[in-house]
Structure formats: structure tokens, C-alpha cells
Structure 1
């Protein structure tokens, strides 16, 4: 039955209350220098621009020495190899039990006396050697160790690599929890939760910092924000503040210092964004920690071997004296026995912003791209002439990395994300789903609206909900999907009145990826999520019918991230093969009963990690070098690589003429795009919007 026009308009308007231009909370695209999209034949205005290359400034903040090597590499080594400024700050000394001894596996040492200051110094020595090796190829390359004051009133050690002065290490030297899970008041966790008024320092034996100090919670936040102000990063790398708990034991899936250290970094980035006006914009990338050990390997063997080599240097596995005879030792012998950790070195995964649904068409010929900068949603727009403008930052802070965008039937665009509220006390930490929609096609976006969270609070599951996925039916009703902290699927669906249902339970178990949602050519909604060993599907047997599932797909194990695109009468899923990075795909067709899943095909050959962006037959993602690269579905097993590293995942759209536009967020926090046809020459990447003159 055809819906009356007035009724349909009501549903389209109900996604968000209509707001007039100039009303509170409404923001249109800001002005800025513009570039035009490259034409399909490569002769447009953008073709004359310099190609995008890796640029920007990276600051990494981790809880312990080696968290960066285990969980942020190879992103770290590739950033160093690209020559951009990289600074890593370590919140604690990682002193543990003070025993620098290998305990089996590849190495075993005699029992050592406990000396926490000595062991912490050995870990510093190992980190300096690993960074020197990554940056210069020589693990003995010299460092200059000095003292700097912190904004929290204490002191930190600053190490500068003499041969590459843009490579810095900052050591806050706070006491660590000394246990991955057991509650210890004298820890970052205890400080965050108000169990102690201040956390003491744990100085190393060789540090130039000689003044003992302690920090309150506020002083830790201000100290981290001060480091951000000193280095003015365009990319901030941090650990996962919401790792979740294991269902069988209730224990955190990550080290407590990783989780609470990341919450301190969250608070510090918010303070930095609010109080420092004269700075570049920045994006944030979260990294998965210990949970990598339970998942299939995400890296190919060659990349994993290189990564493990840097860990062996850190671990002082060969016991060669390359640190000037330091009595503490030249590295962390605890790691020497197992330099891959607990199955950690073979993977790198992003805890957020690893989905490819943040670029979408609005009205015909206009594109909208979204990414989170400065804790706010940034919006870029490309007009019908191919000119990009932006970014404009929507009002409202606390937006987590990652965005999902959907087009409504009248051409309006809705963007969804999660938002974290830190709150005045530890029990007030909260993550919720929010969305904002255009008030009219091509118009400004309205204020954020909250869909809340299915979680009763932070403590049961550490607020570890996924980024939202969304789908819109032909009548303009929005359905929002979420992986909850129990790793099942939840949904809120818009009703004819415009209101949303409560959070529905849609089942499934062991969901690992963020869910993805796609509407097929018949108007049926598809929702997918990967598990540790396969993927699950939920589909509508017919348009308007309730979503059915979960159905097993029978697909092989993946590296977790999942992408999808409409393909003929079905939906094609894209995922990577473990231990290789090869992109695989399978076509899923919905109908009465369980969906039909095709055999698996492969594209591109050995490659990198993370989600891919798909438009038509074009597939874009990380090559094995880490740069953004393209291949073709069904084409030769090769990737056409660029010269640019990037953050998160690519996103792509296909217009009716067969032209694809693909976008990534660079490490410079700028949008970079390429436009062309699958059969055209190798794509060239350009900045979407030129930065204003200095």
C-alpha cells in the first residue's frame, strides 16, 4: 500500500526535531579553502595538486613501557619510518615485582633479587633501544636524557633521540598497579576511583629526575594535557578505556592500568581541546590490548616477524651490552622468554573507528564525510561541482572516535556515534549512542539526540558497547544496532510516530566486531557481526518484516573488522583472512528462512589490517606497508599503493555513473580523497580541503 505523502513527510521529519537555521545547536558547513574532485579521467583541478603523503605529528600515551610495542605496532614503526614527529609518553614505570628475569620459553634466567627501580630502568633501556632501532636502524643510537616540569607540578624525564630529535620519550614514572586485575588502591585505578588522594612516583635508578613527588587525579590529567600542549599532535594514540569483562570470570579483558590510564588520557584530551585554542585539530585512535590474544592473528607473518624483532630488542634477548654497561640491564628480560607476549605480537586492532560507513551521498551529487576531531564531530561536504568544504565541528563534546552516516529517503543525512560522559565521580562514567540529522536536505545539522545505552551502568561491563550501525527503510524509519557489553546484538527501531522502541535483544553471542547494517535492493535490512570463529547474520525475509536471526553464515574466521556493500540482489561482505591480510568476500542473499551465502573469493593478495572501504568493484584498505592502497574485486592479486599512512578505516561511495569516491583521515587530521573509475589508472590521493595559509 502506498503511504500518503503527508504521512511519509512526517516520518522523514521525525528522525530529529526540525531546527531552524541559527537556532541553538545548529551548524552549517564552515568556509575554508576548497579543492575540486578529480575527474574520472584524472584531468580535473585536483589532478594538478601535490599527491597526499604521510604528514602530521603523533603523540602516543600508554600505561607501561612495551604497551606501544605490543599493541600500537606496526603503526608506530611505520610512523617513525615515514619521518614524522613521534612522541610516546609512559604513565607508569612498569616496575611490577622488580625482578628482571626471563622465566622460560625462549629464555630462562637465574632468580634475580627484587629491585623495582632497577627493573624500571631496564625497561626504559629496552624502550630506548627499540625506538632507536625503529627510527635509525641502530639500537645503540644515542639519547639525551633531561628533566622537564609537568603541568601537574611534578617532573618528568624527557629523552630525545640525538640522530632524530623529532623522536621523543616522556616518562611520568608513576607507580603501576603491580597486578593486571587485582584491585590495589595505590594505582591509576585507585586514583581514578577516589580510593587514594594521590599516587606516588616510582623513579628509576638512572633517571635524571631526583625529586620525589605524587599526583592527585587532577594533577595527572593536567600533566598529560600539558604534554599534548607541548607537542601539539594531529593524531593521539591511546589504549582502550572500555575493554569490557570476560563473561565467565568477570575480569577485565585488559590490564587495569591500560583501562584507567586511557580514561586519564580521555580526560586530558578533553581538557586540552577545551583550554588550548591555538593548536592544530587532532584525531584519536584507540588500540585493543590483551584481548588480541584470544582472536585470530591480524598481521601477515612478515609484518609480525618484524614487529617481534623490535620486541626482542626491547627484551634484551641476546644479552649483548649495548646500553653502556648499565647495571640495570639493557632491556626487559621478562619479555625475553616470550617476545610475542600472549599471542599479542601477531595482531594490531583498533578498539574504535574501524568501520567504513562514514562517507555518504545526500541529495544527488552531494557527498558528506564525518570524522571525530577534538572530541567533536567534524563534517566535510562536496557539492555537485566536486568542490569540498569543511571541516565544520558540530556542537557538543565527548564524541568517541568513529562515525556512521546514513541517507534518508529525502536526501537528508543522519550521523551517529557514541558519546562518553566522564562525570564528576567514577560511577558517572557513561557511554551512550547519539545521532544528529540535517533539518532539511543539504541543510545544517541539528543538535545531538541521545538513544541512551542498554547498559545499567559502567561497572558491570566497563561501558564496552560498540559503535552504532544504522539502516533506513523506504519510509524513512531509522534502525540502530549495537553490540552490548555481553557481546550480543541490541537495537532501537523508529516507530511510525517517530519515537524509538526501547533497546531490543536480538541475540547472538561472542560478537567481536562492530555490527554493520545494509539495505539490499529489495529494501530488506541486513545486519552482520563477526565472532571469534565466523560471522552471524540477521536479515528481513521481506521489507517491513521483523528482523530474523541470528543465522550462522558458515564463513571462515576473520581478523574481526567487517565491511559490506549492496551487490545485485544481495549484500557482499568483506573481511580479511587471518595471518595474511588478504581481503575476502562473500555474497549473502536474504529471503524466507536463513540467508544464502556464496563461496568465498579473495582479492588483492597479501595485505595489511583493518576494515576496507568498498564502492562497486573497488576495494581500498591498508597494504602490507600500512599505506592506503586499492585493489579490484576479481582483479589481479595486487595492491596499488599510495605514499600515505592514515587513521581508522577508508570509506567509499559509488555514484550512478560508475565513479567511485574514497576518503581517509590522514595522520595530519585532514580528509584525503581520490575519485575515479575502477578501470582508470592508479588512483591519486589529494587533500580534500587545503589548509588555510599560515
Structure 2
């Protein structure tokens, strides 16, 4: 999976998106903070390839992108929109292939701008990045080649608080950052930062009206935070080998960023610090049971702006959830299976 798979909808209910071998399932709260309903298949009966992407914009609609088999040895990208958790998602719509035809080229990434237009990014056969964006009046713009070279498979797409779309990608020895210069424009390469990057560890989060922060792990294992236009900051050692999830919230009246990651011990590790003030320091605190090695972690805010954490293990099929208690600090309820 790529992107945020735990998402709060416009009606305040939380949804989780669960990939299977050939589909994406969705489970949602029956009411905000209430019991969870059964899993439902997203987008009709279209068979999918592994590795779907999830994203959302200011309108809180969920956008999904995935590869589907088209003919032997070839694949094409499809897109779906899920407007509200209690409604069925739209059927998968073909988006095509960045090179016209061929097999899967990398994990897609998807986000939506301030006007609600989906932007689907994917690595192309030449090793750069391609984009296809929705038109405001319906349909899709043509594929755009954003260039790049030797781009790693995972991309991180996000819409900043301004609604402008940004993209981060890792290449050998560097990070690349693309950004729209105005609404509806094609994102352009703004900056290349020389740094080592552990593949598969990118996570981008809008942290202020002016900035987006990219979290990534260096080859050394240190977790770093980078805001384009400034130097990266080493935040703390990674708790484990996988990606982090992050959310911005208020803790005891302070604007904070909370991180979560599956730790090397198999539990979920949390860290928090004042948003965009990495120099204040952060440290990990572990929580919950030991999880399988393929477990992933996601963070979101519920209708009451409380932190919610979820873990999903594709091999075990277990979905676990916890919420922040109404207490000072980052105290959490007991983890429970839903």
C-alpha cells in the first residue's frame, strides 16, 4: 500500500482500506466513534494487482489508484473515488499507462488538489515520474512526463494546506521535490537534496500553511524531517525498518506532530514533538501487542480531533485500533480488534 489507508470522511466516520490479492476492501464506522461495519469491495468486480495507493484532499473524499491486468504481460492504472464511508465507491475508471502500454512500472501515488481533482503519479519505464490529473470539468488530462532518473518505486504525493499538489521521490543519493506553482498547473521539479534514503520510507505531511514536511529514513537508520528550502533535520533513530505514519494535532493545547512506526520489537512506537520544531527532540514510546513482520501502521484524527491509530497485517488479516484517552499527554486506550 502507498498513502493514507485510515481516513476520516466528510461525515466524521473513519474508514480503513484493506488490500487483498485482487481487490481493495473498505470497512467503516457505522457512526462516528461507533461499531464498525463489515468489509465491502471497492469499485466493482475489476481485478487488481497488488500495491494500491490511497490519498485525499481538503474535501475529505478518498481517492484510490491501482494497477489492473489488461492482457497477458500488460497492466493499466485505474482510479476510484469514495465520497462517503456509508456510500459505495465509484467504479474503477481506466487511467491508462504512462508509456502507452506495458506492464506495471511502480507503486502509484495519488492525492487531490483544492478543487478536488485527483492527481495520479507513477514511475515510468524510463525511470522518471509521470502524472495524469483529472480535469475540472470531468475526464483526464493527458499523461505528463515530470522527468527524473532512477527514481525509486515508492512516491509520496500530498496536497499542502494551500491546496497545491506536491510530490517527493527518492533517487540514488538524493531526494527530489516537485510542486505546483499555481492551481491546475503541472508540478515542476523545485529542488534536489543530496542525502541517503532508505527505499520505501517516504511520508509527506502538510505541517503549516507554508510548508510540507517529508519524513524519511537515511541508510544509517536515522529518521529525518525535510522541508524544501531548508536543510533536513535528524529527528531520532527509526523505531523499525518500515515507513512511519504522521498526523498533526493538538496535544495539551500545543500544535504537535505525532509519528507512529512498527518497532523492531514488533510493537507500535509513538513519538510526538511541537510541529516544525524538530530541535525540541522526540523519543519513542511503545504500545500494544507484538505484530507480524508485515504489519503497517496508520494515524488519523476522529470527529472529536482525537488521535486514532490502526495496524493492519495482510498475512494475519488482523485490524487493531486504539484512540487517545481524554487525559494529558498521548495516553491511549487498550488496543482492540475490529
TM-score, length basis structure 2:
0.84
Kindly indicate whether the alpha-carbon contact (under 8 Å) linking 2:114 and 2:163 is maintained by their aligned counterparts in 1. Answer: yes
1:606 positional shift: 4.9
Kindly indicate whether the alpha-carbon contact (under 8 Å) linking 1:606 and 1:624 is maintained by their aligned counterparts in 2. Answer: no
Distance in 1, matches of 2:135 and 2:173, equals 35
Aligned counterpart in structure 2 of residue 553 of structure 1, from 170, 178, 193 = 193
Query: Secondary structure of 2:38's partner?
Result: strand
Aligned length, in residue pairs: 316
- Residues 551/488 of structure 1: CA separation in 2 closer, same or farther (3 Å cut): same
Give 1:615's aligned residue: 247
Aligned counterpart in structure 1 of residue 68 of structure 2, from 410, 414, 419 = 419
Kindly indicate whether the alpha-carbon contact (under 8 Å) linking 1:613 and 1:662 is maintained by their aligned counterparts in 2. Answer: no
Larger Rg: 1
Give 5+ residue unaligned stretches, structure 1.
1-352, 589-595, 690-694
Distance in 2, matches of 1:385 and 1:681, equals 17
Aligned counterpart in structure 2 of residue 491 of structure 1, from 131, 134, 148 = 131
Higher strand share: 2
- Residues 411/614 of structure 1: CA separation in 2 closer, same or farther (3 Å cut): closer
Kindly indicate whether the alpha-carbon contact (under 8 Å) linking 1:642 and 1:684 is maintained by their aligned counterparts in 2. Answer: yes
1:585-630 per-residue CA deviation (whole Å, 9 max, x = no partner) reads: 1223xxxxxxx13431313x35321211111221111212243322
Aligned counterpart in structure 1 of residue 175 of structure 2, from 532, 535, 540 = 535
Distance in 2, matches of 1:409 and 1:585, equals 23
Aligned counterpart in structure 2 of residue 669 of structure 1, from 314, 317, 326 = 317
Distance in 1, matches of 2:213 and 2:59, equals 26
Give 1:434's aligned residue: 78
Give 1:152's aligned residue: none
Distance in 2, matches of 1:640 and 1:440, equals 33
Query: Secondary structure of 2:157's partner?
Result: strand
Give 2:290's aligned residue: 644
Give 2:252's aligned residue: none
1:614-669 per-residue CA deviation (whole Å, 9 max, x = no partner) reads: 11221111212243322224554334143232435322223575422222212421
Give 1:579's aligned residue: 220
Give 1:654's aligned residue: 301
Distance in 1, matches of 2:173 and 2:100, equals 29
1:484 positional shift: 1.5
Distance in 2, matches of 1:608 and 1:439, equals 34
| In the alignment, structure 1 residue 360 sits paired with structure 2 residue 10 | no
Higher relative contact order (CA 8 A, sep 6+): 1
Query: Secondary structure of 1:414's partner?
Result: strand
Root mean square deviation, CA, Å: 2.5
1:512 positional shift: 0.6
1:237-259 per-residue CA deviation (whole Å, 9 max, x = no partner) reads: xxxxxxxxxxxxxxxxxxxxxxx
Aligned pairs for 1:176-575 (under 5 A) are: 353=1, 355-382=2-29, 383-394=31-42, 395-407=44-56, 411-421=60-70, 423=71, 428-438=72-82, 442-458=86-102, 463-549=103-189, 551-554=191-194, 556-561=195-200, 562-568=202-208, 569-575=210-216
